A and B are shown apart, each in its own frame.
Chain A
């Protein structure tokens, strides 16, 4: 990994996710700090990165590296943690049943990922799908249900839906800019995660293990 990527690109990209991931435009408190749930999820994400070989902490922090390089590495890890926590905060619905269900599903998906121990490529694919799905749920589906604009018919249908679900689904309206910011933060986070220094040995071992499993499955079939 080049020093430019480790010292400049990764920390700044991940800090940008941590910075704008908490932006909730149009509200009284526009900068939201991560919830406790997000912090737990960030720890799980980091564990998944290490187990899959997506992140090799010894390539960022090691006794044989110069002090300044270790400082850069420590900042990358801190920024990755902060960025992950804010990304989860950004993608989790704000209230009601969607908050509960979204939180439980995200948690189960991450625990499942940890148990399966995928390799780097599979983890990145899985992460892309999870982040994309959470984005679509919050910023497209739930935002459409909370949109105060539109025709009278649409508002009547939404009011009926809100009454039928006892107000447990409806969310506070989302600012038009929020979805665009979230979209670019998701992309930036995925790019940064893909550029983390990975563990070649761990990745190769997992790849071999997956090939062995595929071969033995074919034989048994």
Chain B
């Protein structure tokens, strides 16, 4: 009887542990907060911190992008919310956009983040209804970030200085 109990417990523990390992390898979380958030979102129990999100949005509109990203990260510690990730990617775009050049490092980070946002959105379709923004979909933002990272003859067009930041 005792042997059966030990074997049964071992079987359940091993299967649960193996499932957790497969889940972690599939999701690739960086931090324990992401593990917790990922598990919560799997059960539909994940939500962002609305106060931190509002603070972040205010900072984003004041063009304090580093501070905004810190607040967005506090609002969505597990990086599981598509809309927050979209704003983070947008902050990289706006901070990296300069009239004469685009900051490759910031644009690369932006591209990574917008890809994450797209992956998190239902049906990979993300629309953010914010009148303050010029681009409302993740696809537009992604295309703009990709174009900023591309090297081609158009980079030498002097008329590019009249481009406007979106």
Residues of A within 8 A of B (CB): 3-4, 6-8, 11-12, 15, 18-19, 22, 29-31, 33, 68-69, 71-72, 75, 79
Is B41 interfacial (CB-CB < 8 Å)? no
Say whether chain A's binding surface is mostly helix, strand, loop, or mixed: helix
Q: Which of B7, B8, B17, B30 has the most CB of A within 10 A?
A: B7
For residue B158, CB closer than 8 A to chain A, the reply is: no
Judge if B105 is at the interface, Cβ distance under 8 Å. no
Q: Given the complex, which residues of B lie within 8 Å of A7, measured CB to CB?
A: 6-7, 9-11, 14
* 7 A/B residue pairs, CB under 8 Å, sorted by A: A3-B10, A8-B14, A12-B13, A15-B17, A19-B21, A71-B7, A75-B15
Give the chain A neighbours of B13 by CB distance below 8 A. 8, 11-12
> Which of the residues A6, A8, A31, A69 comes within 8 Å of B25, measured between beta carbons?
A31
Q: Cβ of B7 and Cβ of A69 under 8 Å apart?
A: yes
**Chain B hits for A69, CB < 8 A:** 7
Q: How far is the CB of A99 from chain B (nearest CB, A)?
A: 22
Number of interface residues of B (CB under 8 A): 19
Query: Are A8 and B9 touching (Cβ within 8 A)?
Result: yes
- B→A interface (CB under 8 Å): 3-4, 6-11, 13-15, 17-18, 21, 24-25, 28-30
Given A15-B21, A68-B11, the answer on whether A4 and B6 have CB atoms closer than 8 Å is yes
Q: How far is the CA of A30 from the CA of B3 in the complex (A)?
A: 38
**Alpha-carbon distance A65/B21, docked complex (angstroms):** 29
Q: How many angstroms from the CA of A88 to the CA of B148 in the assembled complex? A: 41
Q: Is the CB of B25 within 8 A of A79?
A: no
Q: Is B25 touching A75 in the complex (CB atoms < 8 A)?
A: no
A52–B15 CA distance with the chains assembled, in angstroms: 29
Alpha-carbon distance A7/B14, docked complex (angstroms)? 8
Residue contact B3 to A3, C-beta cutoff 8 Å: yes
Q: A19–B22 Cα gap in the complex (Å)?
A: 9
CA distance A31 to B8 in the complex (A): 30
B110 → chain A closest CB, angstroms: 15
Question: Is B21 in contact with A3, judged by CB distance below 8 angstroms?
Answer: no
Shortest Cβ gap from B63 to chain A (Å): 28
Complex contacts, B10 vs chain A, CB 8 Å: 3-4, 6-8, 11, 72
A11, A29, A33, A68: the one within 8 Å of B4 (CB):
A68
Please measure, in the bound complex, the distance between the C-alpha atom of A19 and the C-alpha atom of B30, giving whole angstroms: 14
- Distance in angstroms between the alpha carbons of A207 and B21 in the assembled complex: 39
A68 to B15 alpha-carbon distance, docked (Å): 13
